[in-house]
Every structure is written in structure tokens, then in C-alpha cells.
A and B are shown apart, each in its own frame.
Chain A
């Protein structure tokens, strides 16, 4: 079988500079069974596609949503942003939709999408498809809230939640105590200092991800008035 070498990461705008890569992306979009690609535009390096997501409800027929994917310059380092193209829904925080009509698919700090150009459009459209199903259920019965897992609104609480999850996964008592103390008191991480896991390396070289989450949680807590501290 012939293999096509596709770079996993294409920095900057390079990917739209290659007509073949754009064609391959169009082919990938066309192959997604729950999405029908209607149009695509490449204008001054900006790639935009429009198509329809469809969901067949067993008894109640097909519900669909026309979406617009705006590809970022640094695709696939960043994923395309998905918009409710026909403004079918009214943007709202509880309905997980930004005021510009784009869908809140994920919390950016969670690495839920791969950076693989071969898979990313399917992952993003899959998340958008799920969003459409959830949003329709939510619209039919708002009393039950958003049907599925969702982050708390804002930045501070999701960062704290993410930090907590990573600390639980790490399961290191000193690290846990320090992270909790730092976020409570608003003390930023000292990347040059020794890591609290007692590895002998600096925090910046060892548990840098935890340190970044601590700093982000402190920063956004102060910004959103959820905590008092120094920054």
C-alpha cells in the first residue's frame, strides 16, 4: 500500500500555502459521515468551510445545523473555530455558545484535540456534532441543564478543577500540599526552586505543567475576583 507522508505539524500558514494540503483537508472533510460539506473558500490564506452536521433521532427524524469552520493561521497547532452559521441558536453561556456565535467545544487548557492534521477536523466536527445534539436537548428541556460534562463558566474555576485533577493523578503529598497552599495564598510558582516532589530537579524542569496550572489558577482567580492574593 502506498503511504503518503503527511507532516503531523505544520507551523504558521504553511499548510494553506500548499494547495495539495488544502485539497487533502477538503477530502478529509468530505469523508466525514455526519457532515456534508457545502462550500469552502481559500482567500488570502484564510481557509473557511461551510457544511451541515446531521443527527438522526430514532423517532423524531433528522436535526441538523449548518456550521462554518474558520481555520486558524497556526492550524493544526490550533483547531478550527466552529460557528453556528445560520444563527440557529441564541448565544448564551448556559447554552455553551460565545456571543460571536462560535461553539464552546472545550476548555483550551485541556488537550482534548490532537494536533494531528489528519485527525483534527474530524475531532473538531465530532465535538461540534455532539454540541449540536446536546444543545438541541438543552433547548427542548432547559430544566435538566446541559446534557453532558461541562466546565464551570469563566477561567478560574476550570483551571482549579483541572489542577485538582492533575494533582489527584500525580498523587504526591508534598506537591499537593504546595499547590493547594500556593493557590490559596496566591503565591506564584518559583520555577527555579526545587521541585516539591523531591526529585532534586527544579520545578521548571520537573513538574512544570502543575506549576503553570497553579499560576493560571491564581491569575484568573484574581482577575475574576474569586481570590485575594499577590501576582
Chain B
């Protein structure tokens, strides 16, 4: 159960700790890279952000998650692809992997420094390598997935990069509009889409390889091919890529991959390429609305940027703690967004769904009743929350020391879609999650949105729920309703009827 005092004390303590914590914010220079970022190091990085997604993997996931054995080949497919994409970015192009979000890969290229023209073109070459890896190399290794369709988005700009990883793990996050734009322009199958910023940085010759596509630009595949990469002096070919991925497949036989249910709380540390979990779970995405714009606006003022980073840490810490209070499991911090699941108590669908709904309200309550009440550094920031429930696969893939936790399944996609529909302060939940809410006072705040086929609540906090519950008793007919339900101070769960005269208030 969410408790205002508990949340307030927790945030106050974290804020005190953050005040004394020395955060270093520096612009990334030639002699630096992102390999040894400590938890207090933040870098401003000018670079090209690349997102790759496989558009039709969702259909495979939806059918495969229903049976654990079916998911094993898909798990291996995603794992091998991830390793190869990371290798392409890091070893071929001297860039870095930021994060893998389920089937999505986020890379960052920041070299050469101070030469946007080359940087932008190299980013396009990475996009070509990504696309060819999925289109040409993977079907040779995974004959069961012959026609997967990649999509790539690339954007250029300044972002901040930080490492959230604990215990020596790398867990990079990147925040800034360039990272957001790259993710937002994903979509068209087999397309490499770039933002106007990146297109403008290209040489005139390379700009002509693109065609206008709305506000963005799309690569014309008739003018380039996989050979372009080698022609530009980079050591990559689709054949080499297929060979390396075959080695990765051979190193991970399906017989060695284990899948288990989750009767107790999932320990992400126990998961890896050879071990994933399948469970019924609720997924929640909590996104801080407007935070990216804040970071963009403070990019030239390091002191202000430090404050903004501390504010993010405060939000992130509190949202993580609230999730833990509900037996939830934080899967990833994706920039200024939190992804978490609730999967306990196992085999009790209704209770998990109800906990998920309460977690949504609790996250919003911590933000609105605590963070936005007492810790307004720049402005009030609201969160957009989406949640859904269903069969979910929890994985951690990658290489030792650089494993990314992720989830697959319809509820993950659905929760993400619901979150993206939300404005700040809104909560959207799927119909089955709403149906499991037992508390009438809570249900009353959700309205069905027929257009998006979900239930939506605006500005819902536990304070409003408490007040709605009290209102029910306070509106009892004056002079007749003597009872006002309240709870014992020392026994919160047990309702106690206190006889109280409910008068009809009057004033001159």
C-alpha cells in the first residue's frame, strides 16, 4: 500500500543524499569515451543516435510467448542479433551501444569529433549494416525466420549519457531530443529514416541519396547497397556478419537454453542468454513528461544541467522504490522512462492486475503529492503511465558485464502504446486491468476511452481516492447519517466506525 509519509521520508532522504553527491557533468572530449562512466559521471555527447527495430518480430513474439519452447529460438535470435549489432557499432564503427529495449537496439556514434559530415554519413552506413544484417545475414543463420523486416531511425544532436549500472555492469541511458527523435521515426519496414538535422549535416553528394518523407528523409535503396560500407573503408560484409552470428548460434544450442516460470520474485541477476523466465505479469511504463525538453534547454549550462540530472535521479529513485513496494521488478530505466513488471502473487491474475493498477496510482501519487509538492527545482513534471497485463517473457541478453534486461509479450507492447497515448498526469490501463480493480472509489476515477479501447484516469492520486471514499460518507443525509467511516490510527487495515454527527453546514 502506498503511504504518503513513507514516500515523503524516502524522497527527503534521497534529496539530502543527492545534495551532497558530487555529479560531474562534462562535454565528451577526444580523450574520453563512454566505457568507464561511473554512477556520478554524466557526459554531454554530440552524436548520431541510431535505433533499429524488427517490425514483424511482434507477431512472432505474440505467438511464441504462449509456449515456452517456441520462445527459445526467438530468444536466441534476439540475443544473437543484439550481439552482432553491438559488435557492428563498437568494433566496426567505433561507436557505442546505449541500450537494448526488448527487440529495439539503441546505438550512439560520436566519432569523429567535430566533423558532423563524416559522423552523419558513418551513422547512415551503420544503418545500412544493421538493415543488411537483418535482411540478408540473419535468414542464412535462422532459416525459420526468413523474412524479417528491419527499420532504422537516425538523428543527430546533443544528449546526456549516464551509466546507471550497479555491480560493475554497464547500463547506459541517454536523454535528449535526438535520442527521442531516432526512436520516434522508426516504423517503415526496410527503411532507413533520418531527421532533417542529420540530413543537413551530410555532404551534398550523400544528401542526394535520400528522398523526402514528410518531415524526414528516407534512404533510396536503389542508390546504395551493402557494398557501400566496404567501399567507404569499413571492414563489414553481410557474409562475415552471417558467419559470426552462426558462431554465436553454435555457442548457444537450444538444448542449453532453460525457461522457467516465476513462482517467486524474479532475480534479474540470475537471467542470461541461457536462462529466461515466462510468467503472467503486468507491465507498466512511467515516462516523465517534458523532461527531455528540460535537458535540451539546459545543455549549455552545466550547473543547471547538474540540477536537472539530480532531479531525474530523485524521480528515478522514488519510482523504483514505489515499484519495489508493490513487489514489482524494475526492468529498465529507458532514459527518463521506467519499465517495470508485477508478477506476484504467481497464478493470481486478479491480484496481480489490481496491484498493477495500484502501482500506477502510486507512481502518480509520489510524483504529484511528494515530488511536485516539495521538490520543484525548475517546474512541476508529470508522468504519463501505461499498463497492461498478460503472458510475458523476461530475459537478459548480451555479453558478460553488458547484459540488458528486457521483456517480450503483448502486454509490453500494449503498455508502451498506452503510455505513449498519455499526456503528463494521465494513467491508461487495459480493460482487463480495470476489471480487476475491486475498490469502487478507484474505479470511479477511470473512464472508458472507446477510441483507444482502454480506461483512462487524469491526475489520479491516492489523496483523491481517500477524499472520494470520505465524500461517500460525508454526503450522507444531514442529521441522519451518524456514521463516518474512518480507520484506526494504529490499525490501518481495519475499518472502524466512529459515530460522528454529520450536520448540514451553514454559513451566512
Stretch in A22-30, A128-136, A187-195, A197-205 touching the partner: A128-136
Distance in angstroms from B488 CB to nearest chain A CB is 7
- Does A106 contact B504, Cβ atoms closer than 8 Å? yes
Residue numbers in A under 8 Å from B479 (CB-CB): 110, 112
Residues on B with C-beta less than 8 A from A131 are 503, 505
Residues of chain B contacted by A96 (CB below 8 angstroms):
505-507
Can you pick out 15 interface pairs between chain A and chain B where the beta carbons lie within 8 Å of each other? A33-B498, A57-B470, A59-B463, A60-B466, A94-B507, A97-B507, A107-B506, A137-B467, A140-B467, A147-B467, A148-B471, A149-B505, A151-B504, A153-B507, A158-B506
Per-position 1/0 for A86-118, Cβ under 8 A of B = 000000011011100000111100101100000
Given A151-B505, A153-B506, 19 additional A-B pairs, CB 8 A: A34-B486, A59-B1, A61-B3, A96-B505, A104-B505, A104-B508, A106-B503, A107-B504, A110-B504, A113-B501, A122-B499, A123-B501, A126-B500, A129-B498, A133-B484, A147-B475, A148-B471, A148-B505, A158-B506
Any A CB within 8 A of the CB of B477: yes
Rounded to whole angstroms, the CA-CA distance of A69 and B505 in the bound complex is 17
The complex places the Cα of A133 from the Cα of B466 at a distance, in Å, of: 11
Which 8 A-B residue pairs are closest in the complex by CB-CB distance? A59-B462, A126-B500, A151-B506, A104-B507, A107-B506, A148-B474, A126-B501, A106-B503
Q: Which residues of A contact B36 (CB under 8 A)?
A: none
B211 CB within 8 Å of chain A:
no
Q: Across the interface, do B478 and A149 meet the contact criterion of CB distance under 8 Å?
A: yes
- Picked from B4, B474, B498, the residue with its CB within 8 Å of the CB of A147 is B474
CB contact under 8 A between A58 and B507, given known A33-B498, A126-B499: no
Known contacts A96-B506, A130-B474; is-contact A59 B500 (Cβ 8 Å): no
Q: Which residues of A contact B489 (CB under 8 A)?
A: 54, 56, 62
Contacts of B474 in A (CB 8 A): 130, 133-134, 137, 147-148
B506 touches A98 (CB 8 A): no
Contacting pair B506 A106 (CB below 8 A):
yes
Flag whether B365 is at the interface (Cβ < 8 A).
Answer: yes
Does B487 sit within 8 A of A, measured CB to CB? yes
B501 touches A127 (CB 8 A): yes
Which of A54, A59, A131, A148 is most buried by chain B, counting CB atoms within 10 A of its CB? A59
Contacts of B3 in A (CB 8 A): 59, 61
The distance in angstroms between the C-alpha atoms of A146 and B508, with both chains bound, is: 15
Do B486 and A154 have beta carbons less than 8 Å apart? Answer: no
B-side contacts of A140, CB under 8 Å: 463, 467
Does B167 touch A at the CB level, under 8 Å? Answer: no
Please measure, in the bound complex, the distance between the C-alpha atom of A155 and the C-alpha atom of B507, giving whole angstroms: 9
Is A55 engaged at the interface, CB distance under 8 Å to the other chain? Answer: yes
B4 near A134 with CB under 8 A, answer: no
Asked if B369 CB lies within 8 Å of chain A CBs, one says yes
| A112 and B504 contacting across the interface, CB-CB below 8 Å | yes
CB of B502 within 8 A of CB of A148, answer yes
Is B205 positioned at the interface, with any CB of A under 8 Å from its CB? Answer: no
Given known pairs A34-B486, A133-B484, the reply for A59 and B365 (CB within 8 Å) is yes
Contact A59 B498 (CB under 8 A): no
Which of B5, B478, B482 has the most chain A CB atoms closer than 10 A to its own CB? B478
Structural contact, A93 and B507, CB atoms closer than 8 A? yes
CA distance A158 to B467 in the complex (A): 27
For A54-79 the 0/1 string (1 means CB < 8 A from B) is: 11111111100000000000000000
Closest to A106 in B: B503
B2 contacts partner chain A, Cβ-Cβ < 8 Å: yes
Contact A153 B508 (CB under 8 A): yes
- Contact assessment for A147 and B471 in the assembled complex, using a CB-CB cutoff below 8 Å: yes
Please give the distance in Å from B294's CB to the nearest CB on chain A: 27
The reply to whether A34 and B501 form a contact with Cβ atoms under 8 Å apart is no
Nearest residue (CB) in A for B358 is: A59
Instruction: Count residues of A near B (Cβ-Cβ below 8 Å).
Output: 46
Residues of B within 8 Å of A146, CB to CB, are 505
Q: Is A17 an interface residue (CB 8 A)?
A: no
B30 cross-chain contacts in A, Cβ below 8 A: none
Cα of A198 to Cα of B41 in the assembled complex, Å: 93
- Asked if A150 is an interface residue, CB under 8 A from chain B, the answer is yes
Assembled-state Cα–Cα distance A62/B477 (Å): 26
Is A59 in contact with B2, judged by CB distance below 8 angstroms? Answer: yes
Is A170 an interface position by the 8 A CB rule? no
Give chain B residues whose Cβ lies under 8 Å from the Cβ of A104. Answer: 505-508
B39 CB → nearest A CB, Å: 32
Q: Which residues of chain B are within 8 angstroms of A54 by Cβ–Cβ distance?
A: 489
Residues of chain A contacted by B463 (CB below 8 angstroms): 57, 59-60, 140
Contact B467 A112 (CB under 8 A): no
Query: B492 on the interface (CB 8 Å rule)?
Result: yes
**What is the distance, in angstroms, from B1's C-beta to the closest C-beta of chain A?**
7
Establish whether residues A56 and B486, one from each chain, have CB atoms under 8 Å apart when the complex forms.
Answer: yes
Residues of chain A contacted by B470 (CB below 8 angstroms): 57, 133, 137, 147
Give A98 to B506 CA distance when docked, in angstroms: 10
Is A149 touching B475 in the complex (CB atoms < 8 A)?
A: yes
A166 at the interface (CB under 8 A from B): no
Tell me if A61 and B503 are in contact (CB < 8 A). no
A141 interface hit (Cβ, 8 Å): yes
Q: Which residue of B lies closest to A144 (CB)?
A: B471
Chain A positions within 8 Å of B23 at CB level: none
Residues in B neighbouring A97, C-beta threshold 8 A: 507
On whether the beta carbons of A56 and B365 are closer than 8 Å, the reply is no
Q: Does B413 contact A (CB under 8 A)?
A: no
Contacts of B469 in A (CB 8 A): 58
Residue in A33, A56, A153 with the greatest tally of chain B CB atoms within 10 Å: A56
Docked CA distance A129–B501 (Å): 9
| Interface residue? B57 (CB, 8 A) | no
User: How far apart are the CA atoms of A93 and B506 in the complex, in Å?
Assistant: 8
Q: Which chain A residues border B478 with CB–CB below 8 Å? A: 110, 112, 148-149
Please, which residues of chain A bring their CB within 8 A of the CB of B507?
Answer: 93-94, 96-98, 104, 150-151, 153
A62→B154 CA distance, assembly (Å): 52
On whether the beta carbons of B505 and A57 are closer than 8 Å, the reply is no
In residues 332-375 of chain B, which contact A (Cβ within 8 Å)?
365, 369
Which residues of the other chain, B, contact A122 by a CB distance below 8 angstroms? 499
B271 at the interface (CB under 8 A from A): no
Establish whether residues B505 and A58, one from each chain, have CB atoms under 8 Å apart when the complex forms.
Answer: no
